[in-house]
């Protein structure tokens, strides 16, 4: 019969082993804080400073007004004025500028005649995502300039006007998209590392044989090893969620019950995977290597940075066994969309299945390695 007193004693022993070991303390406290700050501030899809150069072959007032429009934009930063075609390529190749605004010699004359006046934008396309964002900003400035010119000449604007309204993230702040995902990343990192090192630490320190001669049954040892990682992951998730809400001011539009149901189910699956890795590891180094071998693909295939729908169909099928994939949907849906509990059931039950299967496999491996 399962003895909860023996399990609690083992849980206490595991907490003491984690907190007394400087390396384990650093794993629990250090990396999460560093990654939270780095991801929260450095990982962004926004462009706040676009260095650009101007090659203006026109001497009319309209070309000066267009250049002034770019200068007055808080997004663009003029770093050079060019005087010849041959100066363009070196500036772009050296990445001194991201964008070159080239205005032809007849720009102002064409506008005065009511004819199309062409402006060339030369952009560094090595980073396609950054290039597209910069190009959209440039289009916005040019569109506003066109509106100003039409207003000065008393001409009517285009018959159709495009009005854009972004749902869930009206200001299109990438931090609102990234920070909820960091909750999943940091929770996975801490939980997986703590559990992946638990059994391996016993073997490396030579105390694993002592467990075998205790009255503890294999299932009790398994529960005792899983509980500290689960509780530490729960605390870690609560801290990161609090920072997301209070420091980064990401809105939360769902219920605490819905969010923490996802947290608990995700922790169940993460602990199961960590114990599987730990049961197969003889040393802590092997445990760390196994944890990182799982974490890197799990993060890439989670939809944290790139949409899963854009991945090849074979890769999309692989993501179905990744619990972080479902947790990412839950986090962003609860924070930004205000999704209900019922709407997220399709994300809950796969994590529950993954958690139960991984825990069962961890238990089987644990018994197999014991005997």
Give pLDDT, residue 16: 73
The token duo for 190 is: 């801490």
User: Is it true that domain 50-153 has CATH number 3.65.10.10?
Assistant: no
Give pLDDT, residue 32: 63
- DSSP of 79-92, one letter per residue? EEE--SGGGHHHHH
Query: 287-320 pLDDT, tens per residue?
Result: 888 888 898 889 888 988 777 877 888 888 999 9
> With bands split at pLDDT 50, 70 and 90, how would you rate the model's confidence at 208?
low
Residue pair 281/369 in contact (Cβ under 8 Å)? The answer is no
Cα–Cα distance measured from residue 136 to residue 164, given in angstroms and rounded to the nearest whole number: 13
Query: 41-84 pLDDT, tens per residue?
Result: 655 566 778 899 999 998 888 889 989 999 988 889 999 999 99
Query: 20-51 pLDDT, tens per residue?
Result: 766 666 666 666 666 666 565 655 566 778 89
Secondary structure letter of residue 21 according to DSSP = S
Domain ranges of the chain: 4-43+173-370, 50-153
Cα angle: 345, vertex 293, 23; to 5 degrees: 100
Give pLDDT, residue 212: 63
Residues of the chain with pLDDT > 90, as a percent, come to 25
């Amino acid at each position: 019969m399962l003895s909860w007193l023996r399990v609690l004693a083992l849980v206490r022993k595991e907490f003491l082993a984690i907190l007394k070991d400087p390396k384990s303390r650093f794993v629990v406290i250090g990396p999460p804080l560093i990654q939270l700050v780095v991801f929260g501030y450095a990982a962004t899809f926004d462009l706040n400073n676009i260095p650009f150069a101007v090659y203006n072959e026109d001497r009319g007032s309209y070309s000066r007004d267009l250049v002034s429009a770019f200068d007055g934009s808080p997004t663009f930063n003029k770093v050079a004025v060019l005087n010849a075609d041959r100066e363009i390529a070196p500036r772009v190749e050296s990445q001194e500028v991201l964008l070159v605004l080239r205005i032809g010699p007849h720009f102002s004359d064409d506008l005065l005649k009511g004819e199309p006046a062409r402006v060339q934008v030369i952009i560094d396309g090595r980073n396609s995502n950054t290039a597209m964002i910069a190009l959209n900003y440039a289009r916005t400035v040019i569109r506003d300039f066109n509106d100003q010119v039409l207003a000065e000449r008393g001409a009517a604007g285009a018959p159709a006007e495009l009005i854009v309204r972004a749902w869930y993230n009206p200001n299109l702040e990438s931090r609102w998209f990234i920070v909820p995902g960091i909750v999943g990343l940091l929770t996975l990192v801490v939980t997986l590392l703590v559990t992946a090192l638990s059994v391996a630490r016993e073997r490396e320190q030579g105390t694993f044989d002592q467990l075998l001669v205790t009255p503890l049954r294999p299932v009790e040892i398994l529960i005792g090893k899983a509980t500290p990682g689960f509780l530490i992951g729960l605390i870690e998730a609560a801290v990161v969620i609090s920072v997301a809400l209070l420091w980064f001011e990401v809105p939360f539009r769902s219920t605490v019950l819905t969010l923490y149901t996802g947290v608990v189910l995700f922790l169940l699956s993460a602990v199961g995977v960590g114990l599987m890795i730990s049961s197969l590891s003889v040393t802590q180094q092997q445990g760390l290597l196994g944890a990182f071998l799982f974490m890197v693909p799990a993060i890439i295939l989670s939809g944290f940075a790139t949409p899963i729908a854009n991945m090849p169909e074979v890769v999309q099928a692989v993501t179905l066994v990744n619990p972080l994939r479902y947790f990412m949907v839950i986090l962003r849906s609860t924070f930004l969309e205000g999704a209900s509990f019922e709407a997220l059931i399709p994300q809950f039950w796969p994590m529950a299945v993954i958690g139960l299967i991984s825990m069962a496999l961890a238990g089987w491996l644990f018994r197999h390695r014991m005997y």
